[in-house]
Amino acid sequence: MTPFSRITGTGSFLPPRRVTNDDLARDLAQRGIETSDQWIIERTGIRARHFADPEVTSSDLGLEAAKRALEAAGRSAGDVDLIIVATSTPDMVFPSSAAILQNKLGIAGCPAFDVQAVCSGFVYALTVADAMIRTGSAKCALVVGAEVFSRILDFNDRTTCVLFGDGAGAVVLEASAEPGILASDLHADGKHVGILCVPGHVSGGQVLGTPLLHMDGQAVFKLAVRVLEEAARTCLQKAGKVDTEIDWLIPHQANIRIMEGTARKLKLPLDKLVVTVNEHGNTSAASIPLALDEAVRGGKVKKGDMLMLEGVGGGFTWGAVLLNM
């Protein structure tokens, strides 16, 4: 009997094209739109982001991250018996990017599906994979967050296009006799659909509505700080732990001010906060596994550390996962 699930490997991948704030400001100036490195850093903490080339899809980025996570776990693709991809920028309307990724990994047969919870997608996907492992439906899951958010940005809207980037992160989650995932807490409140959305859909061969990201930044900011503290506290309570036991806080990397505000509310020193938003921008569902992998490979996160992962995003959705590495 293996009643728990545990992360056994992490991986990530960023498309090679790094775009600094100055690069972006120069491009936007050609459209008559003014922004600056100073404004972007002060309001968000972002210095650069990566953009994928036009032909590169979420499953392409996810594949590279998945291969690295499998290698770190000492597993091969043939060992995987569940694939969940969290994405809001899938390769196609259907089939799922998870099914496409499965084929790119050269395997077949295991369940593969996408989870759509925008920037909370990874904590949702991890929670689903954990539940499937604990109920015996899977033993070795690949959980991926992958996005090409640059495809849905409105480069005529300076309030949003400076915030996001592309990338992918992945973990291998395996059945374990020792607890890895200790607790999780997921939520959604659909009455906030309008504050963060891509309000378009496909109909009769055309896109109806706007297929570009719209956000009320201040409304998102206020909600995010409140719900991230609540989700973390509920998670700690469910696991019978207290905030001082957290070794690393890895929140969704949207804005340094939201992240530091959350750490302060949890009474965590800022050196326990994993920050990659400065170099990645907001990569939506990819941001948490990207940050986790960088923290593992950079030697910050070590085996046995207790991690609080937290997501918040469109829906409105939010959630947290507390785990031991």
CB of 191 to ligand ACO, least distance (A): 16
**Which of 254, 249, 310, 250 has the alpha carbon at shortest distance from 277?**
254
CB of 184 to ligand ACO, least distance (A): 18
Whichever of 159 and 278 has its CB closer to ligand ACO, that residue is 159
Q: Tell me how crowded residue 256 is: count the other CB atoms within 10 A of its CB.
A: 19
Q: Which residue sits closest to ligand ACO, CB atoms considered? A: 313
Give the whole-angstrom CA distance, residue 158 versus residue 33: 7
Quick one: DSSP state of residue 315?
A: T
> Which tokens go with 313?
């995003």
Give the whole-angstrom CA distance, residue 192 versus residue 224: 12
Whichever of 63 and 118 has its CB closer to ligand ACO, that residue is 118
CB of 8 to ligand ACO, least distance (A): 28
Whichever of 21 and 102 has its CB closer to ligand ACO, that residue is 21
Give the whole-angstrom CA distance, residue 267 versus residue 297: 26
Residue numbers annotated as active site: 119, 252, 282
Give the whole-angstrom CA distance, residue 186 versus residue 191: 16
Give the whole-angstrom CA distance, residue 142 versus residue 122: 12
Residues of the shown chain interacting with ligand ACO in the complex, contacts defined by CB under 6 A: 35, 39-40, 43-44, 118-119, 158-159, 162, 196, 215, 217-218, 220-221, 224, 254-255, 258, 282, 284, 313-314
Whichever of 43 and 139 has its CB closer to ligand ACO, that residue is 43
Whichever of 168 and 224 has its CB closer to ligand ACO, that residue is 224
Element (H, E) at 4: strand 4-13
Give the whole-angstrom CA distance, residue 181 versus residue 5: 6
Contacts of residue 105, Cβ cutoff 8 Å, sequence gap at least 6: 63, 66, 67, 77, 80, 83
Q: What are phi and psi of 156, to 5 degrees?
A: -100, 0
Whichever of 103 and 218 has its CB closer to ligand ACO, that residue is 218
> Which tokens go with 293?
């992998």
Counting DSSP H helices and E strands in the chain, the numbers are 10, 15
